Amino acid sequence: MENRIKTRLRKHDFVIKMIEEFLIEDIKKLAEIIIDGYRKGKKVILFGNGGSAADAQHITAELVGRFLKERRGIPAISLTTNTSNLTSISNDYGFEEVYARQIEAIMNKGDIVIGITTSGDSPNIIKGLEKARELGGYTVALTGRNGGKVINFVHLSIIVPFHMTPHIQEAHITIGHILCDLIEEALFPSKRVACFLDRDGTINIDKGYVHKIEDLELIPGVLEALKLLQKKFLLIIVTNQSGVERGYYTKEDVERFHSYLYYILSKEGVYIDDFYYCPYLEGECRKPNPGMLLEAAKDWNIDLKNSYMIGDKTSDIEAGKNAGCKTIIIGKEDITADYSAKNLMEAAKWILNQDS
pLDDT one-digit tens code per residue, 254-305: 999 999 999 999 999 999 999 999 999 999 999 999 999 999 999 999 999 9
Query: What percentage of the chain has pLDDT greater than the value 70?
Result: 100
Confidence of residue 341 (pLDDT cuts 50, 70, 90): very high
pLDDT at 356: 73
* 141 within 8 A of 117, measured Cβ to Cβ: yes
Mean pLDDT of the region 301-321: 97
Identify the CATH assignment for 2-187 out of 3.40.50.10490, 3.30.930.10, 3.10.20.30, 1.10.3720.10: 3.40.50.10490
What one-character DSSP code corresponds to residue 135?
T
In contact, 297 and 183? CB cutoff 8 Å:
no
pLDDT in tens, 16-70: 999 999 999 999 999 999 999 999 999 999 999 999 999 999 999 999 999 999 9
Angle among Cα 210, 213, 214 to the nearest 5 degrees reads 95
pLDDT at 333 over 90: no
For residues 115 and 45, what is the distance between their CA atoms, to the nearest angstrom?
A: 8
Domains 2-187 and 194-355 alike in fold: yes
Confidence (pLDDT) at 335: 85
The ranges assigned to domains in the chain are: 2-187, 194-355
- Beta carbons of 120 and 150 less than 8 angstroms apart: yes
Mean pLDDT of the chain: 97
Q: Which amino acid, residue 296?
A: A
Local structure of residue 333 (DSSP, 8 states): -
Is residue 196 over pLDDT 90? yes
Each residue's pLDDT tens digit, 238-249: 999 999 999 999
pLDDT digits (tens, 9 = 90+) for 257-271: 999 999 999 999 999
Whether residue 27 contacts residue 178, with contact meaning beta carbons closer than 8 Å, is answered with yes
In sequence order, the β-bridge partners of residue 327 are: 309
The string of DSSP codes covering 10-56 is HHHHHHHHHIIIIIHHHHHHHHHHHHHHHHTT--EEEEESTHHHHHH
pLDDT classification of 105: cutoffs 50, 70, 90: very high
Torsion 307-270-252-1 (CA) sign:
negative
With CA atoms as reference, report the closest residue to 309 among 284, 283, 334, 282. Answer: 334
Q: What is the pLDDT of residue 150?
A: 98
- CA 22/CA 78 separation, integer angstroms: 27
Burial class (CB in 10 A: 0-12, 13-18, 19+), 231: exposed
Contact 253, 334 (CB under 8 A): no
95 Cβ neighbours under 8 A, 6+ residues apart: 124
- The Cα–Cα gap between 312 and 201 comes to 6
Q: Is residue 289 within 8 Å of residue 322, measured between CB atoms?
A: yes
Q: In angstroms, rounded to a whole number, what is the distance separating the alpha carbons of residues 326 and 317?
A: 9
For the domain made up of 194-355, the CATH class stated in words is alpha beta
Q: How far is CA 275 from CA 35, 196, 214, 304, in A?
A: 29, 10, 19, 17
The pLDDT of residue 334? 83
